[in-house]
């Protein structure tokens, strides 16, 4: 149980275009999802916390208008990179927290999406 | 605020040798502790977790970790590694009673040589 699926796993786009990444919890309801960005050989950088039915909470330094997050249902959150530029190229990982039981901080991660902006 | 320090960025080891990946944390309140593994171009997978109870926790793939409150450590160990254990390992901590959003260490790259 507790499987998170992320799509697409790889995407290449031209500079100036927008890219949408989907994160789905397949067998559980996730009231809270998290979006991370990971640079090569580095740790995960939390970008935003996504709560179902409400606006996402962005971490300091993350551009809200650049990285649009929508958590439309208890099983789906999307990250849209708008007007992507080469510096947005990175590995983006979503994760979800179980919507039931005690909260401990344990997260279930998607497979990640590698974005390359040409 | 909480923080996590993984002292070693890279740990090379020969196959079938034991390994220890170090993790120290700081927090003013009780914590939950996690170790995750990341294989190339993949997301993170939970190896093991400490929530409460026994300080020695066992996880998947033969890994175990010991919570040491006095030393604020949660080192990961395996008595005999395989080539397939080559991956990035992340230690994470979340505060009980707080936001429960985990803080991750910078990661340790375990490289197993034949």
**Nearest CA-CA distance, residue B75 and chain A, Å:** 18
List of residues 6+ apart from A15 with CB closer than 8 A: A84, A85, A86, A117, A118
Distance of alpha carbon A103 from alpha carbon B45, whole angstroms: 18
Can you give the pLDDT at residue A97? 85
pLDDT at A20 over 80: yes
Can you give the pLDDT at residue B102? 87
Residues of A in contact with B100 (CB under 8 A): 97, 103-105
Query: CA separation (Å) from B65 to A83, A93, B33, B61?
Result: 44, 25, 10, 12
Tell me the average pLDDT across A63-82: 93
- Split at pLDDT 50, 70, 90, the class of A29 is confident
**Nearest CA-CA distance, residue A54 and chain B, Å:** 17
**Nearest CA-CA distance, residue B95 and chain A, Å:** 8
Tell me the average pLDDT across A64-75: 92
Average pLDDT, chain B: 92
The token pair that represents A81 in the structure block: 């990179």
Average pLDDT, chain A: 91
pLDDT at A1 over 70: no
**Does A104 contact B100 at a Cβ distance shorter than 8 Å?**
yes
pLDDT at B97 over 70: no
Tell me the average pLDDT across A15-30: 93
Can you give the pLDDT at residue B98? 65
For residue A5, what is the nearest residue in chain B, using CA coordinates? B43
- Split at pLDDT 50, 70, 90, the class of A52 is confident
Residues of B in contact with A107 (CB under 8 A): 44, 102
For residue B42, what is the nearest residue in chain A, using CA coordinates? A111
Q: Which of A41, A95, A112 sits opposite B42 (nearest CB)?
A: A112
The token pair that represents A99 in the structure block: 């919507």
Can you give the pLDDT at residue A116? 96
Tally of CB atoms within 10 A around A50: 27
Q: Tell which wins on pLDDT, B6 or A54.
A: B6
**Nearest CA-CA distance, residue A53 and chain B, Å:** 19
Q: Tell which wins on pLDDT, B13 or A54.
A: B13
Point out the least confidently predicted range of A42-46, A100-104, B78-82.
A100-104
Q: Which of B43, B49, B109 sits opposite A112 (nearest CB)?
A: B43
Residue A80's closest CA among A36, A5, A19?
A19
The label of the residue with tokens 């397939």 reads B84
pLDDT above 90 as % of chain B:
78
């Amino acid at each position: 149980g507790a499987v998170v699926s992320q799509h697409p796993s790889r995407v290449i786009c031209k500079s100036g275009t927008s890219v949408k990444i989907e994160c789905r919890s397949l067998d559980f309801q996730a009231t809270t999802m998290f979006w991370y960005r990971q640079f090569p050989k580095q740790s995960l950088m939390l970008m935003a916390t996504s709560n179902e039915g409400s606006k996402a909470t962005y971490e300091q330094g993350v551009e809200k208008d650049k990285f649009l997050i929508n958590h439309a249902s208890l099983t789906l959150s999307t990250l849209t990179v708008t007007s992507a530029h080469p510096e947005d190229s990175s590995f983006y990982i979503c994760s979800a927290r179980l919507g039931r039981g005690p909260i401990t901080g344990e997260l279930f991660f998607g497979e990640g999406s590698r974005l390359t902006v040409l | 605020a909480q923080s996590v320090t993984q002292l070693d960025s890279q740990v090379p080891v020969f196959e079938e040798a034991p390994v220890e990946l170090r993790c120290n944390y700081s927090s003013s309140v009780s914590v939950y502790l996690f170790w995750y593994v990341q294989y190339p171009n993949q997301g993170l997978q939970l190896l093991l977790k400490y929530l409460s109870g026994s300080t020695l926790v066992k996880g998947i793939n033969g890994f175990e970790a010991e919570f040491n409150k006095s030393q604020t450590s949660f080192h990961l160990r395996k008595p005999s590694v395989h080539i397939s254990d080559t991956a990035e390992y992340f230690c994470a901590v979340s505060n009980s009673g707080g936001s429960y959003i985990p803080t991750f260490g910078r990661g340790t790259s375990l490289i197993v040589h034949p």
